[in-house]
Structure 1
Amino acid sequence: MKAKASLLLSSLVLSGAAIAQAKPEPDFTLSYNVGVVSDYRYRGISQTARRPALQGGVDWAHKSGFYLGTWASTIRWIKDTPPATRGSVELDLYGGYKGTAGAIGYDVGFLQYWYPRNNYDLVTGEKADTTEAYGALTFGPATVKYSHALTDLFGAANSDGSGYLDLSATFDVGNGFSVVPHVGWQKIKNFGTYRDYSVSLAKDFGGGLVVSGAVVGTNWEDRFGFPNTLPGSGTKDLAKKAGLVVGAKYSF
């Protein structure tokens, strides 16, 4: 009798495992994230006058490889550039397709940087809103990505056609730690090109919580001969040669 019961129990366990293994892949996934950083540095330049920022986003990914998403952050650079007075939030809207070709991963898409109700056109005659097309290739830990501006770049007059080349790598060093070195080159059409760089250390604590620290800098002043400052941020160099940025993000 005991043998029959054990056999029945084993059959039920194996049947349950088979059902679990046969569970179909969902057609899509929806994920969310919220976070805070001590300074929002984008392409090496502070968007928040070297002050903290609140951030968060939503991502939808289909099993076919297509994806859509949105991400937002508080900013200061528009209002720090008089006579502009409106534009305290950056809202990114993006979509594209990810896939693989052998050992190479690829990602192509479009990204709209939208600054709701901004009046940056009072400064240059151009809105700060910017549209870029991008393409990226990944092999092992390394990724190369190029972004091309289809509009004027963040309100800089006559800068459509500007481009940004981004080289980075992600190394898992164990115990939830990862190291990400990065270097990028931003070409601003009819102005010039500068380089930014960073080295980030992140710790994944599990449950969706990641804490990070990064050394971020640029060669802006060496390249152009003057610091990157705005009237509203006083003498703060927004593209300083090296600065520490810490942050925390929770994904769910």
Structure 2
Amino acid sequence: MHKTLLAVSAALAVTSIPTVALAQASPLSFNVSVTSDYRYRGISQTRLKPAIQGGVDYALPAGFYVGAWASTIKWIEDAGGDAKIEIDLYGGYKGEITKDLSFDVGLLQYIYPGAKTAAWNAAYKDPNTTEAYGALTYGPATVKASVALTDLFGNYDFAGGNSSKGSVYLEASAGLDVGAGITLTPRLGYQKVRNIANASYTDFALTASKDFSGFLVSAGIVGTDANKSFYVPGFAANSTKFLGKTGAVVSVKYSF
């Protein structure tokens, strides 16, 4: 990106990182997907272009789970690095507090193999990032908070010597059954980036999805109020596209 590396990493607004169900027939599950634009917290990771994605989840006894997810990306190359994929490793614990209230806590590691090269923009640190997260779900509604335990995707205030560690992302969403097998999912999020001017923003998405014999087809609108001069591709892309603009995203995911 031009001034920040926050247009990074994992989990599409309409098909985010897969999570493990509290109860499932097999403890091991896989998924593959294609999407018209990989949006992470509303910001495109693929310069508004398609991505191929896939993941694996394993449900351990007593509510514990681990998983891995990967996607093609463009933002690292745009910033002078050499990573063409993002790999996410995560693990956590899920459980029920009451019949209608459940929780999910865990750690998530974003990895960008080969990101730092001689051409990597010196204004940024290592983009590999660790986050801790916690979520509460009541009925169809979920609220979630994620906290960066490292610099957030390489963002660092070199002039002031200030880290973006401790940056927070808050989100609320709901999965609403509107009939005919269609689920409507509104989502609202806020990314607070510590010590980086013009980096914080609000994002939103409204997605409709339906399962067709294991193929989950989703279509939605996603956008942000992010700074339009801040969230643009890196110098190597030779582009001034706003990566957080409001737009349509379509995806197809197959789980097995």
Instruction: Please report the TM-score for the alignment, with normalisation by the length of structure 1.
Output: 0.84
Structure 1 residue 50: Cα displacement: 0.4
Structure 1 window deviating more from structure 2 (60-69 vs 227-236): it is 227-236
2:4 corresponds to: none
Give identity over the alignment, percent. Answer: 52
User: Which has the higher relative contact order, 1 or 2, with Cα contacts under 8 A spaced 6 or more apart?
Assistant: 2
Residues 227 and 244 (structure 1 numbering): CA distance in 2 closer, same or farther, change over 3 Å?
Answer: farther
What do the CA deviations read for 1:175-224 (whole angstroms, capped 9, x no partner)? Answer: 22100000000000012521000000001112x11101110000013xxx
1:35 corresponds to: 33
The separation in 2 between residues aligned to 1:74 and 1:171, in whole angstroms, is 30
What do the CA deviations read for 1:31-71 (whole angstroms, capped 9, x no partner)? Answer: 00000000000000000000000000000012410000000
**Secondary structure, counterpart of 2:133 in structure 1:** strand
Kindly indicate whether the alpha-carbon contact (under 8 Å) linking 1:26 and 1:63 is maintained by their aligned counterparts in 2: no
Is residue 200 from structure 1 mapped to residue 204 from structure 2 by the alignment? no
Gaps of at least 5 residues in structure 2 are 1-22, 157-162
Is residue 112 from structure 1 mapped to residue 109 from structure 2 by the alignment? yes
The separation in 2 between residues aligned to 1:251 and 1:28, in whole angstroms, is 12
Q: 2:173 aligns with which of 162, 168, 174?
A: 168
2:90 corresponds to: 94
Residues 27 and 237 (structure 1 numbering): CA distance in 2 closer, same or farther, change over 3 Å?
Answer: closer
**Secondary structure, counterpart of 1:214 in structure 2:** strand
Structure 1 residue 226: Cα displacement: 2.9
Residues 31 and 47 (structure 1 numbering): CA distance in 2 closer, same or farther, change over 3 Å?
Answer: same
Kindly indicate whether the alpha-carbon contact (under 8 Å) linking 1:33 and 1:56 is maintained by their aligned counterparts in 2: yes
Kindly indicate whether the alpha-carbon contact (under 8 Å) linking 2:81 and 2:114 is maintained by their aligned counterparts in 1: no
Structure 1 residue 125: Cα displacement: 4.6
Residues 26 and 34 (structure 1 numbering): CA distance in 2 closer, same or farther, change over 3 Å?
Answer: closer
Kindly indicate whether the alpha-carbon contact (under 8 Å) linking 1:196 and 1:217 is maintained by their aligned counterparts in 2: yes
For residues 41-80 of structure 1, the aligned pairs below 5 Å read: 41-80=39-78
Kindly indicate whether the alpha-carbon contact (under 8 Å) linking 2:53 and 2:70 is maintained by their aligned counterparts in 1: yes
**Secondary structure, counterpart of 1:92 in structure 2:** strand
The separation in 2 between residues aligned to 1:39 and 1:122, in whole angstroms, is 24
Is residue 218 from structure 1 mapped to residue 216 from structure 2 by the alignment? no
Structure 1 window deviating more from structure 2 (55-64 vs 143-152): it is 55-64
Letter of the 2:221 partner, please give it. V
Q: How many residues align?
A: 221
The separation in 2 between residues aligned to 1:118 and 1:212, in whole angstroms, is 30
Residues 160 and 220 (structure 1 numbering): CA distance in 2 closer, same or farther, change over 3 Å?
Answer: same
Letter of the 1:37 partner, please give it. T
Letter of the 2:252 partner, please give it. A
Kindly indicate whether the alpha-carbon contact (under 8 Å) linking 2:70 and 2:86 is maintained by their aligned counterparts in 1: yes
Structure 1 residue 227: Cα displacement: 5.4
Cα RMSD over matched residues? Answer: 1.8
The separation in 2 between residues aligned to 1:71 and 1:205, in whole angstroms, is 22
2:149 corresponds to: 150
The separation in 1 between residues aligned to 2:46 and 2:151, in whole angstroms, is 21
**Secondary structure, counterpart of 1:239 in structure 2:** coil
Q: 4+ residue stretches of structure 1 with deviation over 4 A?
A: 25-28
What do the CA deviations read for 1:136-161 (whole angstroms, capped 9, x no partner)? Answer: 00001000000000000011012101
2:250 corresponds to: 246
Structure 1 residue 174: Cα displacement: 2.2
Structure 1 window deviating more from structure 2 (145-154 vs 124-133): it is 124-133
Identify the structure with the greater helix proportion.
1
2:138 corresponds to: 139
